[in-house]
Structure 1
Amino acid sequence: MNKVLVAIGVGAVAVSLNVNKSYADSNATVNVSALNIRSGPGINYSKKGVVYKGASLNIIETNGEWSHVTLDNGEKGWVCSKYINSTSSSNNIANNVSGQVSVTASYVNIRTGVGTNNTIKTVVPYGTKLTLISKSNGWYNVKLENGTTGWISGKYISTISNNQNSNQSSNTYNNFTPCNGKVTSYANLNVRSGPGTNYTIKTRLIYGQVVKLTEKSNGWYKITLSNGSDGWVHSGYIKITTEAVSKPSGTTLNNSNTSSNNSNRSAVVNLAYSLLGKPYVWGANGPNSFDCSGFTRYVYLHAEGKSIPRVSYEQAKIGTAVTRGNYLPGDLLYFATTGTGRTSHVGIYVGNNTFIHASGSASKPDKVIVSSLSGYYGRVLLGARRF
């Protein structure tokens, strides 16, 4: 993560001293893995925080190559404009209260009511199709394909164009040269039977896995795995690469138990990622702030309906022990961070030797972040549990 942040800082360009334009109502989403929020329009200004891919920002004004923005929590700061996609609110769904829309951010919470103070019912990824039911104060009551209903902010959805609704038979596959692609999604990536979220899930890929890309259609790649199976993945989570195809690591969904387990794991990881940047507060249970065990308890409860103990050392006693090297996304990790050898910290494994946790302490609060198991956390890791 540190390397990513350094690259972002170095990649910024020189700053103009003139304010180019002020935006009365302009939204944007982050288009890189992690983006520094600074106190002024330039890399010489201090870093105030970090936002992650898919995060929504409101643009106040621009200054050269920098944008003054407001985050969802009300905090203001400056970001390099090249790392955000700006879209006027008029480009979204306006006053529509019927028809279909699609999700425009990496992951979005579906809540029980209007506003971020309501409980998260589920989390949906980019491109998910939703049916509009009603509207209230910039929020939309929607219905998912599985029948679930809930509320979503209008900032994260857009009307589906006629091209998106057209019959798949009209798609063209011409002028695509087969090549290899690398998975960039930290959460397991669905491989579907066709180019769209309405198709069934055949298997899932993990972060960093390399597959063969054979066709492209309406933002989806047809892939071939090294074991000969094929399917479709959204191109937003694939990066073209010259690396060799990985050995088989997707899990075929060939029975209801496997499908349910993988679905729960994805829900845990997706919800955990959606909470990145939330502040650490000792004793907090969410949804707007957490301590470490409050974070893990909240995620498991709201992602898969499982109630686990509140404190870290009790969480480390439940479920089934997992041997080192066999961790799967969604497993609970527990650590001894106080020098006593006793469990004092917990987090959730998300793949690629990384985990998400509410980092900090009562005296030095931080926030929900992604950390590597290499280095310090690998040395104080006590074990993992699977529920």
Structure 2
Amino acid sequence: MMSTAALLAGGAIVMQHSTQEVHAATNNWVEVQYTSCLRQGPGTQYGVSRYLQPGETYKYFETRQAGGYTWYRVSTTDWVASAGVVDRTGTSSASTDNNSSQSSSTSSQGVVQINYASNLRLGAGLNYGVSRGLAAGDTYKYYETRQADGYTWYRVSPSEWVASAGASVYTGGATNNNSNNSNNNSVPDNSLNTSQGVVTISSTGNLRQGAGTSYGISRTLNAGETYQYYETCQAEGYTWYRVSPSEWVASAIASVGTSGGSSTGGNSGSGSASLPNSAKVSAVINLAQQQLGKPYVWGGKGPDVFDCSGLMYYVYLNATGINIGGWTVPQESSGTQVSLNALQPGDILFWGPQGATYHDALYIGNNQYIAAPEPGDVVKIQTMSQGFMPSFAVRVL
């Protein structure tokens, strides 16, 4: 029971144990049992590098105890927890070359041309998620290179990379047919610019999860609404405005205005006070519903995998701009505690005693909630039952 509780806590016990370093021989190895986060340090407070899949094996070079788990260092900077792996030292040799161990990045600039239809990934490696597809003939500026998985990877945006398997350095002399060409030049300006202001929606249009029409639609914006923006990007012939941590709107339906009046739309991800609580609750629930079916990964905070507290963190941050904390215990203090007899949609349900909760979920009404339950499962809608009743609830909005 304690093991299960710790796993569901999604980092809830990180600070309960001191960190102790223990060096191990380089011929030791682990086998991945469950989809697991590869982190940039021994603890759930460290950033996620990528994800390891069941059946993969990795040599490790050092172990540390932190948060109730043994952490294995499988590259210079990457660690995986014993929650998802088994130490196989002494049984056989590791069959996977540790492709999490990448060479350092090289500051380099130039242009790549896409020779074959290729995936644009969220990191320099085949294990990173796919942002979107690139078409043959497209050309992109790149700002950094890295060696991984046998390829040279080119960074073409702050967080997107393409591999030399489908791209090569472009030297000019050809006309670019890239749809992201905003100035009819041979190379699109796909870099970001830090900028702030207000945009007014001129006609009904889509709010997208990235700066481009190839990204998924978050929701629809209505004419007359105004939004604060925090960054701009040139893509597909438009200026794109970032109006939340992960949402963008194009100049095709928006124009820069002044901040002299109140926002009538309210930034779904900026925490704008002008957006009514009822609309914020709806935005939180709608975003949570968009995550249904995505796999549970311990420590996952989206957008592709989640644990219980990671799902709550993601939907509140990206739908309202409110940072409720990254694991269950700080999330207990993100609002006002309410009785289970007075629940409203948008409340966060908690299981376990205050200060030691091990699971939480988003209440959506009619005794139902959205949760990332446990390893091997997916984000789903569940019904409250006497056999697994929450201990208390917190109202953030």
Give the structure-1-normalised TM-score. Answer: 0.36
The structure, 1 or 2, with the larger RCO (C-alpha pairs under 8 Å, 6+ apart) is 2
More helix by share: 1
Q: Larger radius of gyration, structure 1 or 2?
A: 2
Give the structure-2-normalised TM-score. Answer: 0.35
